[in-house]
């Protein structure tokens, strides 16, 4: 962990970065970001936004620019998607998290949203990292699917070095030999990040497993491992989703997950006292 001047604790006293987004303090308590993989229509996004808000989510996610494996797959609605997210924020009060793919889009996309997401495929896109580093917007930096913790922290370092201290790390699974899950969710990286860095660390159990049945247990496990929050895909009607429907929770499942996470609060506080 050499040359991590800004992201590492460097043997100094333990401290945590707290990032304020709207009324939410990321890095303090447990924060839940929820919403569809992609913004598909106004109706789908607003409906899902109200449902996740009702269940207690703190921020709304939704992709307007989608990094798809195939160039023929749905690529997102672009600016129209951002306008829909803006409306969802107006109606629900939930701050917005959305992915930005291209350095040329960073400054104008930043005007629409509250948190800029850098996806796994772009973790080491250094010009994109520098560009988001020049804004003051919080950045959710997903772990590259082939990246070590050190490489990941170096990418966060790029953002901090440009003058933006508001970086949230997000573990989203790494590639392994197992084909049962979409990725292998590396929950051990959560306490590892806490050992070496002051940045908040989130977990994405949706892309991390790619399996609906594993999203709830891995969300609860992320909380137990000490994560500062999760980012989870929720769709008002997963069967109809244009992207990642089979890993998206429906609103009832999400409400049940929130209930369980809330019950873990007291338990985590008790454990911290021991
Ligand atoms: C996403 O969160 O929408 C996404 C594309 O995730 P990842 O970059 O982790 O694949
Ligand atoms: Mn997705």
120 three-state secondary structure: helix
Q: From the CA of 207, how far away is ligand 1's center (Å)?
A: 7
The single-letter DSSP state of residue 85 is: H
Q: Which of 52, 133, 123 is nearest to 85 (CA)?
A: 52
Computed on alpha carbons and rounded to an integer, the radius of gyration of the chain in Å comes to 17
> What's the 85 CA to ligand 2 centre distance in angstroms?
16
- Report every protein residue that has its C-beta within 5 angstroms of ion ligand 2: 37, 244
Write down the pLDDT at residue 12. 79
Does 13 map to a domain? no
Residue nearest to atom 8 of ligand 1 (CA): 119
37 CA distance to ligand 1 centroid (A)?
8
Residues with CB under 6 A from ligand 1: 37, 63, 67, 99, 119-120, 142, 172, 204, 207
Q: Indicate which ligand has the atom closest to the C-alpha of 243.
A: 2
At residue 11, the pLDDT reads: 83
d(CA 231, CA 249): 12
Distance CA 214, CA 173 (A): 13
The answer as to whether 14 is a domain residue is no
pLDDT for 236: 98
Q: What is the spatial distance between Cα 60 and Cα 68, in angstroms, rounded to a whole number?
A: 21
Integer Cα distance of 231 and 140 in angstroms: 10
Distance 35 CA to ligand 2 centre (A): 10
Residue whose C-alpha is closest to residue 22's, from 38, 6, 33 = 33
- Show the domain range for 228: 19-273
| Residue minimizing CA distance to atom 5 of ligand 1 | 119
* 171 touches 185 (CB < 8 A): yes
- Phi first, then psi: what are they for 24, rounded to 5°? -100, 140
Q: Which two tokens stand for residue 58?
A: 């703190």
Q: What is the CATH number of the domain that holds 169?
A: 3.20.20.70
Q: Which of 2, 43, 30, 4 lies closest to 190 in space, CA to CA?
A: 30
Residue 68 lies in a domain: yes
- Outline where the chain has alpha helix (H): 42-55, 79-92, 106-109, 126-133, 149-161, 189-196, 205-209, 212-224, 251-273
- In a domain? residue 4: no
pLDDT (tens, 9 = 90+) of the chain, 274 residues, equals 889 999 999 887 889 999 999 999 999 999 999 999 999 999 999 999 999 999 999 999 999 999 999 999 999 999 999 999 999 999 999 999 999 999 999 999 999 999 999 999 999 999 999 999 999 999 999 999 999 999 999 999 999 999 999 999 999 999 999 999 999 999 999 999 999 999 999 999 999 999 999 999 999 999 999 999 999 999 999 999 999 999 999 999 999 999 999 999 999 999 989 9
| Residue nearest atom 4 of ligand 1, based on CA coordinates | 119
Which of ligand 1's atoms lies nearest the C-alpha of 120? 8
Tally of structural domains, the chain: 1
CA of 181 to the centre of ligand 2 (A): 14
- For residue 142, the ligand 1 atom closest to its alpha carbon is 9
């Amino acid at each position: 962990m050499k040359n991590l001047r800004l992201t590492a604790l460097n043997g100094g006293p333990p401290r945590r970065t707290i990032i304020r987004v709207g009324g939410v303090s990321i890095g303090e308590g447990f924060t839940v970001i929820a919403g569809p993989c992609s913004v598909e229509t106004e109706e789908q996004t607003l409906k899902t936004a109200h449902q996740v808000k009702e269940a207690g989510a703190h921020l709304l996610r939704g992709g307007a620019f989608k990094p798809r494996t195939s160039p023929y797959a749905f690529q997102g609605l672009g600016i129209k998607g951002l306008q829909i997210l803006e409306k969802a924020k107006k109606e629900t009060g939930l701050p917005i998290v959305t992915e930005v793919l291209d350095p040329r889009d960073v400054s104008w996309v930043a005007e629409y949203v509250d948190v800029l997401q850098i996806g796994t495929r772009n973790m080491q896109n250094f010009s994109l990292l520098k560009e988001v580093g020049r804004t003051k917007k919080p950045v959710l930096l997903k772990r590259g699917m082939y990246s070590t913790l050190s490489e990941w922290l170096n990418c966060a370092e790029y953002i901090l070095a440009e003058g933006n201290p508001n970086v949230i790390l997000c573990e989203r699974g790494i590639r392994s030999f197992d084909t049962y899950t979409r990725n292998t969710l590396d929950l051990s990286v959560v306490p590892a990040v806490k050992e070496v860095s002051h940045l908040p660390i989130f977990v994405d159990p949706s892309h991390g497993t790619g399996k609906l049945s594993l999203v709830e247990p891995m969300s609860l496990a992320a909380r137990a491992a000490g994560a500062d929050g999760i980012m989870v895909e929720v769709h008002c009607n997963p069967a109809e989703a244009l992207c990642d429907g089979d890993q998206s929770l429906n609103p009832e499942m999400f409400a049940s997950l929130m209930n369980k996470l809330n019950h873990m609060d007291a338990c985590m506080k008790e454990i911290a006292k021991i």
